[in-house]
Amino acid sequence: MTHSAQPEPMDFVASFSDPEAAARYSDGPRRFVPGFEALHRMTGILLAEHAPPDARVLVLGAGGGLELHALAEAHPEWTFVGVDPAVEMLRQAERTLGPLMSRVTLVEGYIDDAPLGPFDAATCLLTLHFLDPSAREATVRAIHRRLRPGAPFVAAHGSFPQDDTRSRWIARYEAYAVASGVERDQAAKARAAVQAHLQTLAPETDAAVLRAGGFHDVELFFAAFTWRGWIGRA
């Protein structure tokens, strides 16, 4: 396995390697990400604008299988390669997908471990915020190399102003989680983790990273508190 585009440090992999945490994962994003299910629906719509009916789709950060399940259910002719470094999360993806696994290949590793393609579309949801700017751009370039010319790519992750309003945005992240039913102490721990460990960038910087990685026609399509999503084409 080669990992030239892997994140450093790798603490986030350890956080997803506990079997109990992996089993509980499906409940987390819905409580921390406003419009989580809608994000998946929009992703499928955006990919379908440019992908063929029998598209082969690369899903980076596929552990848990939630976006794979949503996309596979909405597009019965698509096939998928899902990549994730956390084996327990891949096991959870298998359980989440059930019979849909017949159209999915799961790969343990990072983007450099993914097949070279070419793929007809790609996604990277709730993942790139774990990478520092240089590793993020390297990962985006590696995704771009695996896509057919003109293929769509959807990325969505934590992205919000990094100026003197940063703490206000992170407070809103915590408040949304509490309003969604997360225990206050758990939400406070999540806030502290975001503040200390996530490699968040300002939205305009994130869009610039996508362009630097080779994508054109980069458009913002999703904005919900501390989360942003873009569509671009290879």
- Asked whether the predicted pLDDT for residue 2 surpasses 70, the reply is no
**Contact between residue 72 and residue 97 where contact means Cβ atoms under 8 Å apart:** yes
- Asked whether the predicted pLDDT for residue 23 surpasses 60, the reply is no
DSSP sequence for 103-131: GEEEEES-GGGS----BSEEEEES-GGGS
What's residue 11's pLDDT?
Answer: 54
pTM of this structure: 0.90
45: left (phi over 0), alpha (psi -120 to 50) or beta: alpha
63 pLDDT band (50/70/90 cuts)? confident
pLDDT per position as a tens digit, 151-203: 999 999 999 999 999 999 999 999 999 999 999 999 999 999 888 888 999 99
CA dist 2 → 91, 109, 181 (Å): 22, 8, 40
Place of tokens 């407070």: 171
**Three-state SS at 202:** coil
Q: Which domains occur in the chain, in start order? A: 11-233 (3.40.50.150)
